[in-house]
């Protein structure tokens, strides 16, 4: 068990170093940091001076070590467009993205599980078939089209909800939250639905498949034979056993929710990290792109690691297979 | 189903003259049988074919070339679709801000979207098949390295990788890429996103196939390794590759549309469907819904029908489901 945990942790660190090399090469070679910093009429000698003072003529491995050392302390350099440290830009925008991603995930879990259970238990009803068809269409519609559709319906035609921005936010230290004001909550609804819809269809299909699988097993038949109520069987026994894979998938998907927030944030002009990243891509702001890549990879790798380890803790069957495999 | 009634020879054994031509064989194959039994699939295939034809013959069908400034007149801007009260004759789906016919713009945009999608699928397929063949056939450290990269890449969403590749390309080549080079960059970015699945599938089949007798026989008669891989091993892995390619076409079209929508894809001078949606989105609030609605509808229908085709192909080629 300990050996497995350590090996996974080493793998995670290896991935982070690989991402770090990519991020560093983008930072160092894709855009010349000096050209971005100086004016057009700066002489070659002055440029060489700046180059030297930034340490850009040191050997590349040394530069990489320095970049990595800075990145570990969350120093990512200065943004070309904003002339501000990238770290503070990201920090400023992180609460917006995390709030959106968490709301979307909760929404997707609650409705996905409800709809999945319904379409498994009432498999042949009309509504369950509608849900299946809608989920296929939901997978085929690109996220930004869903966002535009929702904006048109609820902001343009009905005028119930705002179409852009975060509304009023309340500040706690460096964290800002929109969850405590009415306008903030209203602004959160449409982006969360847009972002959560894909995960919702995914969870719904998964819950449906798992439920159908579990309902066929012997212990459910035995529970029926014992004369338990249908409700106790369905929700006490069947649903409980489907939840482990569902929570795993939802956990693993949280990383992609943050990445997909790029699209949702652009549609709704949500002031998060994703919007910052898109603007960076449009304006070729390499430091922001490199830092965003590092941050998102860190989140991905951490989630994957935690889920892997938790899984072996929760499910003893996996532990024995791991023992045999090594 | 049909296997029970009519025992057949191995379908993958090609015989030169005894059997009818490939078309005749295709008509009586299991696949075509299952195709004819699914009405939804036939509709999806017809719609996909129609879209491809519309895209290919865009310049013949459209009433104007929407990107030739000489043919545009500002007088004609913001005309509503034909069936509404304000509609005007040649403009079936209305016009946009600059007097461009929305229908013609969709045809030309579809052409770009499908071109990027098809080229992206070809590129990612070629890359994935090549790496998968090498990984499966050579094995050892090479295999380990390629599959490690694949594992890591699979944890990152495609759109993130595509955006990064795009941003880096822009920064290397400068921000003034012309439309055709942007198209090439998009194909490259999409290709880099989707090679993993091909590589994994091909590697798996190669590892199964390479221990079989026919490969040993081919080695025995002295065929060089690349020939064995290309002519003998690869054809046996073609079924799953076809399924992945179909589903990836839908994914590639979505990715291209998303990139263009985010402003990191095709420029306004040579728009794809995603670019048209981004442009149209600006007029949503002023009531000109048709500028964004019809490109969006076209994109959604295209992706849905390709997805339906892919789902059907996956089931039809999987003998366990029959």
Give the confidence band of B116 by pLDDT, cuts at 50, 70, 90: very high
- Sign of the torsion angle spanned by Cα atoms B83, B85, B88, B94: negative
Mean pLDDT of all residues in A128-135: 82
Cβ neighbours of residue A273 closer than 8 Å, sequence gap 6 or more: A90, A93, A94, A96, A97, A258, A261, A265, A292, A295
Predicted local distance difference test score (pLDDT) of residue B9? 45
Write the pLDDT tens digit of every residue in B199-257: 988 888 888 887 888 888 888 888 888 888 888 888 877 878 888 898 899 889 988 99
**Calculated CA dihedral for residues A186, A191, A197, A200, nearest 10 degrees:** -60
Bigger pLDDT: A318 vs A205: A205
Give the C-alpha separation, A63 to A67, whole Å. 6
> Given a cut of 90, is residue B118 above it in pLDDT?
yes
| Cβ-based neighbours of A158, under 8 Å, separated by 6 or more | none
**Whether the predicted pLDDT of B78 surpasses 80:** no
Residue of A8, A10, A25, A145 to mutate, testing the B interface (most B Cβ within 10 Å of its Cβ): A145
User: A112 to chain B, minimum CA–CA distance in Å?
Assistant: 21
ipTM of the complex in this document = 0.78
pLDDT beyond 70 at B321 = no
For chain A, what percent of residues have pLDDT higher than 70? 90
SS3 B285: coil
At B124, is the pLDDT very low, low, confident or very high (cuts 50, 70, 90)?
Answer: very high
Count of residues in chain B = 322
Asked if residues B169 and B189 have their Cβ atoms less than 8 Å apart, the reply is: yes
Is B289 within 8 Å of chain A by CB?
A: yes
Token representation of residue A9: 């942790």
In chain B, residues with a C-beta closer than 8 Å to the C-beta of A151 are: 284
DSSP state of B79: P
- If one compares B128 and A300, the residue with the highest pLDDT of the two is B128
Q: How far is CA B53 from the centre of its chain?
A: 15
Nearest chain A residue to B263 by CA distance is A282
B97–chain A nearest CA distance, Å: 19
Ordered alpha helix ranges (H), chain B: 2-5, 22-27, 30-37, 39-56, 58-61, 102-138, 140-154, 158-173, 179-209, 213-220, 225-227, 238-261, 273-281, 290-317
Nearest-Cα distance to chain B for A224, in Å, is: 30
Mean pLDDT, residues B17-43: 72
pLDDT the model gives residue B4: 45
pLDDT confidence of A323, banded at 50, 70, 90? very low
Dihedral sign, CA of A183, A184, A185, A190? positive
Q: Mean pLDDT across the stretch B164-183? A: 76
**Distance separating alpha carbons of residues B139 and B163, to the nearest angstrom:** 32
CB–CB of B261 and A144 under 8 A?
Answer: yes
Q: Which of B155, B167, B296 sits opposite A289 (nearest CB)?
A: B167
| Residue-wise pLDDT tens digits, A229-279 | 888 888 777 787 787 778 777 777 887 888 888 888 888 888 888 888 888
pLDDT value at residue A91: 83
Q: Do A135 and A207 meet the contact criterion of CB atoms below 8 Å apart? A: no
pLDDT tens per residue, range B274-298: 888 888 888 877 777 778 888 888 8
**In contact, B156 and B83? CB cutoff 8 Å:** no
A211 CA to chain B: closest CA distance, Å? 20
Least-confidence region, from A24-33, A119-128, B95-104, B159-168: A24-33
For A240-298, give the secondary structure using H, E and C: HHHHHHHHHHHHHHHHHHHHHHHHHHHHHCCCCHHHHHHHHHHCCCHHHHHHHHHHHHH
B176 has a chain A CB within 8 A of its CB:
no
Distances, alpha carbon A165 to alpha carbons A226, A271, A288, B37, in Å: 55, 7, 21, 50
Is B164–A140 a contact, with Cβ atoms under 8 angstroms apart? no
> Does B163 contact A260 at a Cβ distance shorter than 8 Å?
no
Judged by CB atoms closer than 8 Å, whether chains meet at B159 and A293 is answered as: no
Residue with tokens 């013959």: B57
* pLDDT, averaged across chain B: 79
Tell me whether residues A141 and B170 touch, CB distance under 8 A.
Answer: no
Whether B156 and chain A come into contact, CB under 8 Å, resolves to yes
Question: Which stretches of chain A sit within 8 Å of chain B by CB?
Answer: 15, 18, 26, 30-31, 136-137, 139-145, 148-149, 151-152, 156, 163, 255-256, 259-260, 262-263, 266, 277-278, 280-282, 284, 286, 289, 293, 296-297, 300-301, 304
Q: How far apart are CA B46 and CA B308, in angstroms?
A: 12
* B156 vs A contacts (CB less than 8 Å): 259, 297, 300
Nearest CB neighbour to B160, from listed A15, A143, A296: A296
How far apart CA B28 and CA B23 sit, in angstroms, is 9
Contacts of B152 in chain A (CB under 8 A): 15, 18
Section B165-191 average pLDDT: 80
Calculate mean pLDDT across residues B25-29: 69
Q: Which residue has the higher pLDDT, A313 or B207?
A: B207
pLDDT at B77 over 60: yes
User: pLDDT per residue over A84-97, tens digit each?
Assistant: 788 888 888 888 88
What's the pLDDT at B7?
46
Residue of A nearest to B267 (CA): A282
* Continuous segment of H or E residues that includes residue A311: helix A286-314
pLDDT-based confidence at B125, cuts 50/70/90?
very high
- Contact yes or no for A259 and B160 at CB 8 A: yes
Residue-wise pLDDT for A156-167, tens only, equals 778 788 777 777
Q: Check pLDDT > 50 for residue B10.
A: no
Residues with Cβ < 8 Å from A69, sequence gap 6 or more? none
B160 touches chain A (CB under 8 A): yes
Count of A-B CB contacts under 8 Å:
100
A276: nearest Cα among A102, A108, A106, A76: A76
């Amino acid at each position: 068990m300990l050996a497995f945990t350590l090996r996974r942790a080493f793998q995670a660190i290896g991935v982070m170093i690989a991402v770090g090399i990519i991020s560093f090469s983008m930072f160092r070679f894709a855009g010349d940091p000096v050209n971005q910093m100086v004016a057009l009429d700066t002489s070659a000698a002055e440029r060489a001076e700046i180059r030297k003072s930034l340490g850009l003529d040191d050997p590349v491995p040394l530069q990489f070590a320095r970049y990595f050392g800075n990145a570990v302390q969350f120093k990512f350099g200065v943004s070309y467009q904003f002339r501000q440290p990238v770290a503070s830009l990201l920090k400023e925008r992180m609460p917006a993205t995390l709030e959106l991603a968490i709301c979307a995930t909760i929404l997707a879990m609650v409705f996905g599980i409800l709809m999945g259970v319904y379409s498994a238990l009432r498999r042949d009803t009309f509504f369950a078939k509608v849900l299946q068809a809608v989920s296929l269409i939901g997978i085929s519609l690109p996220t930004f089209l869903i966002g535009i559709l929702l904006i048109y319906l609820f902001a343009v035609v009905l005028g119930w909800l705002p179409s852009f921005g975060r509304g009023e936010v309340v500040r706690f230290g460096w964290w800002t939250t929109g969850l405590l004001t009415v306008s903030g909550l209203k602004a959160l609804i449409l982006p969360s639905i847009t972002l959560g819809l894909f995960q919702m269809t995914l969870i719904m299909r998964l819950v449906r498949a798992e439920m159908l699988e579990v309902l066929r097993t012997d212990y459910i038949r035995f529970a029926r034979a014992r004369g338990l109520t249908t409700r106790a069987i369905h929700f006490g026994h069947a649903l409980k056993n489907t939840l482990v894979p569902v929570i795993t998938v939802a956990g693993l998907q949280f990383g992609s929710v943050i990445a997909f927030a790029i699209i949702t944030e652009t549609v709704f002009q949500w002031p998060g990290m994703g919007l910052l990243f898109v603007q960076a891509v449009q304006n070729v702001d390499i430091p922001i792109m490199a830092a965003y890549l590092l941050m998102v990879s860190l989140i991905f790798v951490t989630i994957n690691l935690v889920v892997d380890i938790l899984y072996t803790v929760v499910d003893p069957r996996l532990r024995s297979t791991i023992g045999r495999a090594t | 189903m049909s296997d029970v009634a009519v025992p057949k020879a191995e379908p993958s054994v090609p015989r030169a003259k005894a059997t009818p031509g490939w078309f005749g064989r295709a008509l009586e194959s299991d696949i075509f049988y299952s195709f004819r039994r699914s009405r939804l699939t036939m509709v999806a295939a017809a719609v996909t074919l129609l879209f491809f034809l519309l895209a290919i013959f865009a310049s013949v069908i459209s009433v104007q070339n929407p990107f030739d400034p000489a043919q545009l007149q500002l007088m004609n801007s913001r005309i509503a679709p034909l069936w509404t009260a304000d509609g005007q004759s040649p403009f079936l789906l209305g016009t946009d801000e600059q007097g461009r016919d929305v229908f013609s713009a969709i045809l030309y945009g579809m052409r770009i979207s499908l071109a990027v999608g098809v080229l992206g699928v070809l590129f990612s397929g070629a890359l994935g098949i090549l790496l998968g063949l090498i990984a499966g056939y050579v094995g050892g450290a090479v295999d380990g390295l390629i599959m490690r990269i694949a594992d890591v890449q699979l944890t990152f969403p495609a759109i993130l990788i595509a955006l990064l590749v795009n941003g880096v390309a822009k920064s290397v080549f400068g921000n003034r890429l012309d439309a055709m080079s942007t198209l090439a960059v998009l194909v490259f970015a999409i290709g880099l996103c989707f090679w993993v699945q091909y590589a994994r599938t091909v590697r798996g089949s190669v590892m199964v196939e390479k221990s079989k007798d026919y490969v040993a026989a081919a080695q025995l008669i002295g065929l060089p390794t690349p020939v064995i891989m290309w002519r003998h091993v690869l054809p046996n892995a073609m079924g799953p590759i076809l399924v992945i390619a179909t589903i990836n076409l839908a994914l590639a079209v979505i990715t291209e549309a998303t990139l263009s929508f985010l402003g990191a894809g095709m420029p306004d001078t040579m728009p794809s469907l995603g670019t048209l949606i981004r442009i149209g989105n600006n007029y949503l609030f002023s009531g000109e819904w048709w500028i964004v609605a019809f490109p969006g509808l076209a994109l959604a229908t295209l992706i849905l029908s390709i997805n339906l085709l892919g789902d059907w192909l996956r089931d039809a080629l999987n003998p366990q489901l029959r």
